[in-house]
Structure 1
Amino acid sequence: MTTDTDLDDLLAALPLKSPREVYDEIEAARRAAELAPPPEATIIPMPEYPYMWPHPLGGIVRFPCALGCGWAHDEDAFEEDLEPIIVPLGGSTQDINRIFNERSLQRAAVVRGRIETAIRDHFTAAHPGREIPAREAR
């Protein structure tokens, strides 16, 4: 067991699942995966992280050309969002959660658009007529 006797007591109090219950859970997960929509495709290649903290450029995320020509688009992951976040006084935790979630989705869409535009511009200039390779987004 563990070195924490309180945790041992809690674990001992939990009911053990039967093999049938475990199988049913696995089957339910498999069926849910079959019904899930197919993953989206993206033209954004897998990122590289050329500099690690504490390097001054530690927040740089690099998206290289999928054809390996040496070109890459760099994004600063630590770049500040200059638009202020407005939270109402007396707002509930649900309101604050919603505001931050909406803001993160908005910022992600802007960053994704900037990366996709850079990739499209690169392919237009450096690889005219070539289709941009897509990969499964995760």
Structure 2
Amino acid sequence: MTADTDLDVLLAELPQPSSREAFAEIEAARRAAEARTPRRTIVPEPVLPPLWPHPDSGIVRFPCALGCGWTHAENIADEDPDPISVPLSASPKEIGRVLSERAERRASLLRQRVESAIREHFKVAHEGQEPPEREVW
């Protein structure tokens, strides 16, 4: 038996939703996406790092939205060196909660660092001009 046939067997054992159920799920997702309120941010779209072993792998760059050539670099490998601490008796739900809280805290700190760098750049290089905002979902 190959891995593909093992997967086929497992997929065949899963309950198959009806067409009506599948359509209802897609419709619910579409309505939820339409109802979502967009947020505004001054953080530009990041330039993602090249793959390892490139010397810049792991470095995410946030370029100036005005195209002046300035970028703020963040080394994603340096973030949050604290170990993850989860009790051995923790349930999967508790582990998920701990990891989610940690990810939210890290994202908030990253956003604060990038926003501070952008504001400082605009104060120095683009005096009197506010950083442009963009919508994010």
Shorter-chain TM-score range:
0.7 to 0.9
Change (3 A) 1:27 1:67: same
Counterpart-to-counterpart distance in 1, 2:6 and 2:91: 38
- In structure 1, stretches of 5+ residues that fail to align are none
Task: Give yes or no for the alignment of 1:63 onto 2:62.
Answer: yes
Aligned residue in 2 for 1:7 = 8
Cα distance 1:66–1:4, how it changes in 2: closer, same or farther (>3 A)?
A: same
TM-score computed with the length of structure 1 as normaliser? 0.77
* Corresponding residue of 1:38: 37
Distance apart, 1:81 and its partner CA = 1.7
Shift of 1:120: 0.6
The structure having more radius of gyration, on CA atoms, is 1
Identity, % of aligned positions: 51
**How large is the RMSD of aligned CA atoms in angstroms?**
2.8
Query: Alpha carbons of 1:67 and 1:24: their partners in 2 closer, same or farther (altered >3 Å)?
Result: same
- What are the superposed Cα offsets for residues 70-115 of structure 1, whole Å, 9 maximum, x if unpaired? 1100001111422232222422222222111111111111111100
The equivalent residue for 2:128 is 129
Distance 1:96-1:6 versus aligned 2 partners, 3 A rule: closer
Q: Which residue of 2 aligns with 1:119?
A: 118
Tell me, yes or no, if the aligned pair for 2:49 and 2:58 is still in contact at 8 Å: no
Structure 2: runs of 5 or more not aligned: none
Matched residues, number? 132
Instruction: Give the structure 2 partner of residue 94 of structure 1.
Output: 93
Task: Output the TM-score relative to the length of structure 2.
Answer: 0.77
